[in-house]
Amino acid sequence: MPVALMDGELGSILKVTAAVWAALSYARLAATCISPGAGRLAALLPVVVLFYGIPFAFTTAGGRGIFAFFLCWLGTFKLFLLASGRGPLDPSLPLLQFVCSAALPVKLRQSTTSGKAKKQHPASAATKILALSAVIPFITYVYQFKEAMSRWQLLVVYAAHMYICMEVLLALVHALIHGVLGMEMEPQVDRPYLASSLREFWGRRWNLMVPSILRPSVYGPVRARFGDAAGVLASFLVSGLMHELIFYYLMWQPPSGDVAAFFVLHGACAVAEAWWGRHAGWWRPPRVVAVPLTLAFVVGTGFWLFFPAMIRGGLDELILQDFQGTVLLMEQAGRWLAGAAGPVLSTR
């Protein structure tokens, strides 16, 4: 990917940031002036429409995917909750906190000097960000040998790639939140490899901003009307549909349905798992057995339904092009810094 294209993406980020800031400033003002209900929802709908159009401003798959996740999914759901007077957004928040809470996958909390926050973040955000410079070239290098890999080897690389990129992205967001607001964000991933059930994996371990939004927006209302099982199934269905939307933004291809099927399957199994837990009594497997069984199910079904959808759509090639462009941009920045430092050093 040409460096000029990556430069264009940086320009798009600046323009989108300005547009999002203006839109959310308006949303906060509208929510302040209008009581929760249909009127507030109508006032916020233009912001929702803008959010769904923002990924079209980017030419790289990475840019489209990140902003689709941040704004089209989490951001719009937060706005819908705001329209009903619920959720993490409150018009009484200072503008900067309101914008960050709405536009980023975070749940803010006051900074603390106690050891509790430190235990929740065993690796510092700075360490994860520095690891990016090593991860991007390494993944680019590994993908060069994809033709020689078996299907399972390639899927393992994809799974590791997704986990590492998510950790690094969240570390960058955490550094931004801490540096700009002087606040911490709630942990977004909590050692998913220790989950002993599907409900624990999806509800308390993996990408925790998503269940924190789905609980009040989907699970709670459906559960109140149709029961717990329906609430769980509806939450997984909505998650699957939103993943299909993100895949569309990433690859510009119609949804295959496989990703939605992956989440619906997990929802059905989570319901069955809860039923078994209520009725099986002592037949439930011990944690030492349940953890590997849970991880095997998540990985196995991911290799069956989730990752093949990426391969068929050519997402791996798109991401590889993005990585190559990023590496070139980093090299160009390094040369520029070295050139700028050269004259200064030579005058000493």
Looking at residue 246, its pLDDT comes to 93
Angle at 117 between CA 160 and CA 182, to 5 degrees: 100
In Å, the largest CA–CA distance within the chain is 79
**Residue ranges, the chain, pLDDT below 70:** 1-8, 108-137, 139-140, 143, 178-186, 280-283, 316, 319-348
* Cα 317 to the center of its chain, rounded Å: 20
Residue 45 belongs to a domain: yes
Instruction: Tell me if 12 is assigned to some domain.
Output: yes
Does 69 reside within a domain? yes
The overall pTM is greater than 0.85: no
Looking at residue 307, what is its pLDDT?
Answer: 83
Residue 284: inside a domain, yes or no?
no
23 belongs to a structural domain:
yes
pLDDT of residue 315: 73
Q: What is the pLDDT of residue 125?
A: 57
DSSP 8-state secondary structure symbol assigned to residue 148: G
Q: How many domains does the chain have?
A: 1
Domain range for 55 is 1-106
Residues 172, 167, 252, CA angle at the centre, nearest 5°?
A: 90
96 found inside a domain: yes
Distance between CA atoms of residues 184 and 112, nearest Å: 8
The answer as to whether 246 is a domain residue is no
Determine the pLDDT at residue 341. Answer: 47
Looking at residue 203, its pLDDT comes to 92
In this structure, is residue 257 part of a structural domain? no
Contact 295, 195 (CB under 8 A): yes
Under 8 Å between Cβ of 238 and 64: no
